[in-house]
Amino acid sequence: MKGTVIICMLALCSLLAGAQTATGEEPIKIGVVSPVSGNYGDHGALERAGMEMALKDLGGKILGRSVELVVLDSESNPDAAARRARSLIEKDGVKILMGGVSSSVGMAVGAVASERQALYICTNGNSDELTSSKANHYQFRAGASMAALGRAAATYAINNLGKKWFFLTHDYSWGLSGTRWARDVLKKSGGTEVGEVKVPMGTRDFSSQLLQIRNSGAEVLMITCAGFDNVALLKQMAEYKIYDKMKVVYTLMEYVDMYPLKPEERQAYCAVEVSWNETKKLEAASKKFAELFPKAAAPVIDNGNYNGYVAIMMVAEAAKKAGTVDDVEKLVCAMEGLKIENNLRDTPSVVDARTHQVLSNVDMVKANPKGTGLNIWNLEKVYPASDFDMTKEENPIDVSCSAKK
């Protein structure tokens, strides 16, 4: 799986293998650097499925040309991801890159895109750095920032759940970002922090941390943790009766992580980039997704497949605006300020021209241990991501076309 994988969607594989389209133009190649293995393997599969679904909705074409996704395994490793991004550009002639999941991978691929002047849409990395210190002119982000997610989760928790908090943090850039913004809200609201534990990626035994947390006297446990590590944590929190002692809040949760759990293991409040039941459009898209991908780890529209879907729609709508997919600079400039209408929501997503951040909604959900079928959580609150994203004062970066001039 570490080699090139060609995904044939809606067009004859002979065409995708290199034959010209009926108009005499070559298919559009989009390089996808995405985890096929490792801690985020399930999330990578979902983001790629979201891209495929978007292509199906587009009839398999952008500007009348067939689209070919060329997938390489990032292994959730920044060095491996950078090598594969270079290979896609140099050997496969790719001008558009997508994928990520891990923020560190997103930064590595973004650096290659900047060096080679290729367009890169980080589909599922959320760390602050992607649109601040590591932002660049050729890099965009489809998913919400941790500023938006962390502050939304913290605002909900402060207003509804308690003001005495303990933090559990995945100890790398993404996890630290989530805790940073939640802590910011706690301090400004006059709350109290009673402790924090940081856990490295690959942690599957949380017994010592949970014993410390259970005895901390906290009213709220604020968590930023993801992947298979998080699945283990969710199971062990129920085992250690954490929910009997305090409310549990996540700065970011994936439906795919919660879906396979036992009912008693589903009790947390969570910020999510999208909830499948936020709109009628998302409910219909979730039904369609389940029919297209019956073996997917999550049977609904989740963060991963949603951001993959939006990334393809970004390219399609920007290409229509620019009149090209071959001129990267024109495509980049067309994306800035773009309103993504085909985003499965009731209002369009908007691309911040200055930071290249896509702004949609942040949904707060409450896990439902009594829910059956798809109803494993209830939608509690919908926040516009723009209400909580980094301000210009907090993040003065400007990577726009106008700044470049």
Domain ranges of the chain: 5-144+279-359, 147-272+361-387
Tokens of residue 38, six digits: 């490792």
Q: What span, in angstroms and rounded, lies between the C-alpha atoms of 240 and 174?
A: 26
pLDDT above 70 coverage of the chain, percent: 94
Q: Which ranges in 117-172 belong to alpha helices (H)?
A: 146-160
- For residue 14, what pLDDT band results from cuts at 50, 70 and 90? very low
- For residue 92, what pLDDT band results from cuts at 50, 70 and 90? very high
Helix axes 280-292, 41-57, angle to 10 degrees: 110
22 pLDDT more than 70: no
Tokens of residue 282, six digits: 């998302």
CB 48 within 8 A of CB 10: no
Is 203 strand, coil or helix?
Answer: coil
Q: Which fold has domain 5-144+279-359?
A: Rossmann fold (3.40.50)
Which residue, among 92, 88, 103, 86, has the nearest Cα to 40 in the 3D structure?
A: 103
Lowest mean pLDDT: which of 27-41, 76-90, 158-172? 27-41
Q: What is the pLDDT of residue 200?
A: 94
Q: How far is CA 69 from CA 17, 19, 117, 139, 383, in A?
A: 11, 15, 19, 19, 33
357 pLDDT more than 70: yes
- For residue 2, what pLDDT band results from cuts at 50, 70 and 90? very low
CB 171 within 8 A of CB 199: yes
Average pLDDT on 214-223 reads 97
Q: Which residues of 58-68 are buried (b: 16+ CB within 10 A; e: fewer)?
A: bebbbbebbbb
More confident site: 315 or 172: 315
CB-side exposure of 141: number of CA atoms within 13 Å? Answer: 33
Sign of CA dihedral 134, 135, 139, 141: positive
Q: Do the domains 147-272+361-387 and 5-144+279-359 match in fold?
A: yes
170 pLDDT more than 50: yes
- pTM, to two decimals: 0.90
16 pLDDT more than 70: no
Lowest mean pLDDT: which of 58-72, 91-105, 110-124, 191-205? 91-105
- Residues paired with 366 in a beta bridge: 269, 378
Architecture of domain 147-272+361-387: 3-Layer(aba) Sandwich (3.40)
Average pLDDT on 276-287 reads 96
* Mean pLDDT value across the chain: 92
384 pLDDT more than 60: yes
Q: What is the pLDDT of residue 404?
A: 78
**Distance of alpha carbon 219 from its chain centroid, rounded?**
29
Q: What span, in angstroms and rounded, lies between the C-alpha atoms of 237 and 229?
A: 12
Q: What span, in angstroms and rounded, lies between the C-alpha atoms of 86 and 72?
A: 11
Average pLDDT on 195-200 reads 97
Q: Which residues of 259-279 are buried (b: 16+ CB within 10 A; e: fewer)?
A: bebeeebbbbbbbbbbbbbbb
Q: What is the pLDDT of residue 9?
A: 39
